[in-house]
Structure 1
Amino acid sequence: MLEFFDVCIIGSGFGGAVCGAKLSEAKKTTLILEQGKRWDKNAFQQTQDVKYLKEIYEEFEGENIKISTGRCVGGGSLLYSASSLRTPSSIFEQKDKDGRRLWPSIYNKGSLNSYYMRVEKKLNVKQLLWSEVPKKDGIFAKACNAAGYTCDRLRTAIVNCRNCGFCHTGCKFDRKQSLILNYIPDAEKNGARIKEGCKALLVKRNEKGYLVVYKDLKSGLLNEVSCKAVIISAGAVQSPALMLKSKKFLNNLSDHVGKNLSANGDMFLAGYLPNEDCEVYKGKAQGCVTYAFWEEGFVLQGMGTLPISATVINRIRFKNAKRPFYWGIEMKRVMKEYGKHLLGIAVIGLDGSDGRVFLDENDNIRLSWSMSEKSRKVFDKAIARAKEIVESIGGELLITEPYQERGEVVTVHPLGTCRMAENITDGVVDANCQVFDNPNLYIVDGSVIPSPLGVNPSLTIAAVAEKVSDYIVQKFQE
């Protein structure tokens, strides 16, 4: 017998988990489909074992772009740095090259404040004390000051951190406020059902609203569920892919589906400081941020990293080295040395949304990135400023291969591929994240964010989800 729910949510990250908690609280029967599996503090591993990392991360690689996302109940919240920043108000006033405002008019300075407050309370977001800032970030702040720039403590969703250094593989101590500690248990307490290991394949219109076709990844069986409303929260890669696969079963999809992919200006840089013991592998993943370069289109943050990320993914090396250090004993030696003297720097900025998610002839997901002059200017300026900061305390900025040698972007903050807009000509969903011409079909995740944010996006995605959830609940009551 075909099951029926008021709402089916596809994905359980910062969009899906928030919507699941709020709609189930409003007594709406709620099903959440998640292709990843459940993890908790007892299952997380403090390791760089590639087999484990492939279980919790989902990697997408395309032409000039690599994207890393979470694949678990709770989505990327299990693996993120927990940096929780409000989007600067100027972002909501951004315009495109034709002078069109990117954000719908209801979004402006202050319009998300009450929703930010809800999320911050739920996730226990607080600004770090200087005594809580990791050593590496203190050195980053010192370097900023030496170069003549201000630097401040981050606001994070971490309570009584153990400073073990494994934020990006799952917190074994439940100190990082992942969604499995708040919104997801709230949803289940309110009666929401979560099916892990289930991948949505199609969304179709039917007489009751929508039919969602999904695959149980363990058994391989196909299943269907009927619902009045669907909320797609699968992220900026999977959400547009699902929309494209479902196109012939839906009404008049916008041409913007899959386009306008932003990497949120992400780039990892690293400095080598021979006179400092930075402890880059220890402590919180992030602790400091400088907004000194906001008018230039980016922020810089201190960044911890695991050895495998520094050497294999970003392939850092000295300028005079003939090749990166990433093999055998040599790699171990260099990782140990970098652990003492490496200063990680995260760039987050306002790129040109130069990417695209699309399907090939076999419906496989494909990505591409065509670097615009806007993006190149932001990245080049960020490299120059990071170099200035590192050299101010006697360091050397290292080469990170993806951008500096190959023109690639690597991001953990993909945005924009189903962007919200005032009309279907300019975007995929309206200001309430409802898909144009498809009543009760919503997309609520990073894909609807219509511009790069220039800061970590999790708090803003969750705030938008809080706002949209209120709208959906109200609409159910009409």
Structure 2
Amino acid sequence: MGQLTLRHHPTAIALCRALFPAGETLPAADTDALLGKMDAQLAGHPALQRSLKAGLLWLNNRHRLVRGQAFHRASAARQARFLDKLAATTVSGKLLRLLALPFKAAYVLDDRVEQATGCREPVQLPAQTETFRWQQQITAARDCEEDLTLEADVVILGSGAGGAAAAYELACRGLAVVIIEEGQYYDRSHFTGKLTEVIPKLYRSWGATVATGNAIIPVPVGCNVGGTTTINSGTCMRTPPSVLARWREQGLHDFTEQSLAPWFEGVERMLCVQQATAETVGPIGDIIDQGAAANGFLQRQPLMRNAQGCDGQGLCQFGCPTDAKQSTNVSYIPRALERGAFLFSGFRAERLHRQGSRITGVTARGTNAAGHPVTLRLTSQRTIVAMGSLFTPLFLQQQGVRNRHLGRHLTLHPAGVVNALFPQQDLANGRSIPQGYGVSDWEEQGLMFEGGTIPLAGHSLLNPLFGRDWVRFTEDYPHTAYFGFMIRDTSEGRVRRGPHRGLPLIRYHMNRQDFTLFKRGIHALACWYLDAGAEQVLIPGLNRIVRIHNRAELTRFLRSPLKPTDFLISAYHPLGTARIAASPRQGVCDSNHQVFDNPGLYVMDGASVPTSLGANPQVTIMAMASRAADILARELLDDMDSTHTPPQGECA
């Protein structure tokens, strides 16, 4: 069996036929072609091959134990009933979903299936991409034939929202800036829209970072030049005034609306922030507007985004193929490089240099094209860690930083989703932006409603269905409304070192207050859909999809004994694991973002944000990093000999 390909594996063939019968618009799976594609994808991955075949052996043995015969020898009807019963069990249901996932992915990630469900035509890649002088400032580890030793005024570890904004601000002051990024640099020619290609390139650990506790919450983060900004939805919001007031109550007196206004304005200019257009939002905007208005909500509007000239391809989370979205690989990083900064991609920071308690540089390592390790040693006056909320605290702990708050106080903005069926309406889900409309009446109460349409693959893979039910659900994608919300959480989690460098252990327990708020969001969205004329409201959970037809059913469902695992929860805004504070008794960094008791070491990313925001955080992170970098630049320039001090003019 070890050498048996999936194309010739009887259990694989039978499972494929059971999973993908013919629907109304989708054909039954071509098992030979589908399994052949899977064989090609698994070539060179013997561990994955063994795991998949072990799963098939488990399925066959389980069927033999219950039915007395091999799975592939049962009739199609018996196979379908067996899978339905297996899916309803606690442990075996999870194993079945895990086994079925690669088969489902191979089926749905097919151009013919996408076109049959109303998705946009495949991305047309440019025949050639522009080249710019600033690209000469990028050095990839794969291109290095020998170790490198350099000096800089400031070295920055990470190129996402915080690191890129800091790099630009410092380079504008004439300082020597070096950015180190573990991921690779990609331009729009790499953003093909094919998930099997772009997810391994842009996402850390294939997007498999997950928080566990009383819920299972995916927390996908980026690993590329641009970090998570390359794969977010582009929504831009300032820090809410009530949140700033809370920070001042905690001793961060400099964080006023007036003092931060110039930094917010600078970020918004850089990102070309403007309101999403009705054309790119799509029909979901009208549905939500109608339903929210019918329920007395007044603050309904398209969201502010960083995507001037967006044509609505709906690929924001997989790299914008037109460069309309101003992620930092398009905005801050090129402008920093134009002003003399250098970027080293494919290098992972491994060790901070110390002279006593002062940080004096960093050693990073990568691998060149020949497969040989290469080392980059940097001596610097200041070092900024901007690896993100999940990895910055782990790196600092590894480097000997001791602070009881480090890795704690993790907030996530847990996000919920409610779907609805509008059978007579094409919602253009594959031809519009994923997040373009919002309702903010309950912002002060901690609830922000924002669009959350996912691509066909997410629609088809993130559900517990099998067989005809799964095919029917996939066919309904063009008629399924997606909208979501996030909460300003009072719950806090913790990040620890995990089994693998790229998979930290994230623990998060949603408290009763937050869960009550979460259910309130579910109730409001379901009511909006019903009042907008939905045939059914779908409330997805990890193990089932609850179908609601009227308010009485909705009330009964929400009054039943529920727990967080009964809902599909995700999170995209990890914050606070190395927070700034008035003293080391309250946080990890001072108000200028310098790590307490570690002179020369700074944190400028989501980890340094003091509390949950209740608003999409990229503008907050960029504004905070720009402010802190400005303070740092002035300090460095004041320390330099006046005869060598460069001009301090602001960037245009």
Q: What TM-score comes out, normalization by structure 2 length?
A: 0.66
Q: Which residue matches 1:80?
A: 232
Query: How much has 1:371 moved relative to structure 2?
Result: 1.8
**2:411 is aligned with 1:259:** no
Q: Alpha-carbon deviation of 1:307?
A: 1.8
Q: Does 1:215 align with 2:365?
A: yes
Give the match for residue 152 of structure 1.
Answer: 301
- Give distance in 2, aligned partners of 1:361 and 1:79: 25
1:235 matched to 2:374: no
Partner of 2:156: helix, strand, or coil?
strand
Q: Deviations over 1:352-375 (max 9, x none)?
A: 242110125997731111221232
Residues 329 and 387 of structure 1: is their aligned pair in 2 closer, same or farther, counting only changes over 3 Å? Answer: closer
SS at match of 2:394: helix
Check whether the contact 2:361–2:382 (CA below 8 A) recurs between aligned residues.
no
| Distance in 1 (alpha carbons) for counterparts of 2:497 and 2:195 | 32
Task: Report the Cα offset of residue 435 of structure 1.
Answer: 0.7
Q: 1:23, 1:372 → 2: CA distance?
A: 41
Quote how far apart the aligned CAs of 1:333 are.
4.3
Aligned residues: CA RMSD: 2.3
**Aligned pairs for 1:68-147 within 5 A:** 68-94=220-246, 101-102=249-250, 104-147=252-295
Q: What secondary structure is seen at the aligned counterpart in 1 of 2:521?
A: helix
Instruction: Decide whether the 8 Å contact of 2:155 with 2:361 is kept in 1.
Output: no
Higher Cα Rg: structure 1 or 2? 2
* Residues 119/362 of structure 1: CA separation in 2 closer, same or farther (3 Å cut): closer
- Tell me the alpha carbon deviations over residues 193-246 of structure 1, each in whole angstroms, 9 at most, x when there is no partner: 111111112323237842312220454444432211111111000101101111
- Find out whether 1:46 has 2:193 as its counterpart: yes
- Are the counterparts in 1 of residues 583 and 590 from structure 2 also a CA contact under 8 Å? yes
Kindly indicate whether the alpha-carbon contact (under 8 Å) linking 1:387 and 1:397 is maintained by their aligned counterparts in 2.
Answer: yes
What's 1:450 paired with? 610
Where do 1:64-463 residues align within 5 Å?
A: 64=213, 65-94=217-246, 101-102=249-250, 104-150=252-298, 151-206=300-355, 209-218=359-368, 219-247=372-400, 250=401, 253-313=402-462, 315=463, 324-325=464-465, 331=470, 333-338=472-477, 340-359=478-497, 365-395=504-534, 396-402=536-542, 404-405=564-565, 409-463=569-623
Cα distance in 1, alignment partners of residues 222 and 500 from structure 2: 25
Alpha-carbon distance between aligned partners in 1 of 2:491 and 2:608, rounded to the nearest angstrom: 13
Going from structure 1 to structure 2, the CA distance change for 1:254 and 1:397 (only over 3 Å counts) comes to farther
Amino acid paired to 1:458: Q
Letter of the aligned partner of 1:418 in structure 2?
A
Separation in 2, partners of 1:84, 1:171 = 16
Query: Does residue 614 of structure 2 align to residue 476 of structure 1?
Result: no
Shift of residue 471, structure 1, vs aligned partner? 0.4
Unmatched 5+ stretches in structure 1: 316-323
Alpha carbons 1:240, 1:418 under 8 Å: kept: yes
CA-CA distance at 1:407 after TM superposition: 6.8
Q: Which amino acid aligns with 1:63?
A: T
| Aligned length, in residue pairs | 458
Deviation of 1:102 after TM superposition, in Å, equals 4.6
User: Matched residue of 1:424: which SS?
Assistant: coil
CA distance in 2, matches of 1:330, 1:361: 36
Distance, in Å, in 2 between the alignment partners of 1:94 and 1:266 is: 23
Aligned to 1:318: none
Do 1:211 and 1:226's aligned partners in 2 also have CA atoms closer than 8 Å? yes
Equivalent AA in structure 2 for residue 115 of structure 1:
W
The alpha carbon displacement at 1:129 in A equals: 4.2
Tell me the amino acid that sits aligned with residue 53 of structure 1.
Answer: I
Aligned CA distance change for structure 1 residues 465 and 199 (closer, same or farther; 3 Å): same
**Structure with more helix by fraction:** 2
Shift of 1:126: 1.1
Secondary structure at the residue paired with 2:189? coil
1:12 aligns with 2:159: yes
Cα deviation code 1:69-126 (max 9, x no counterpart): 111101112111111111221112237xxxx935722113333111010011111111
Give the letter aligned to residue 66 of structure 1.
P
Secondary structure, in 3 states, of the residue corresponding to 1:425?
A: coil
One-letter code of the match for 1:422?
A: A
Alignment-mate amino acid for residue 94 of structure 1: R
- In the TM superposition, what is the alpha-carbon distance from 1:189 to its structure 2 partner? 1.1
Q: Which has the higher strand share?
A: 1
Do the aligned partners of 2:280 and 2:311 also contact (CA within 8 Å) in 1?
no
Shift of 1:30: 1.2
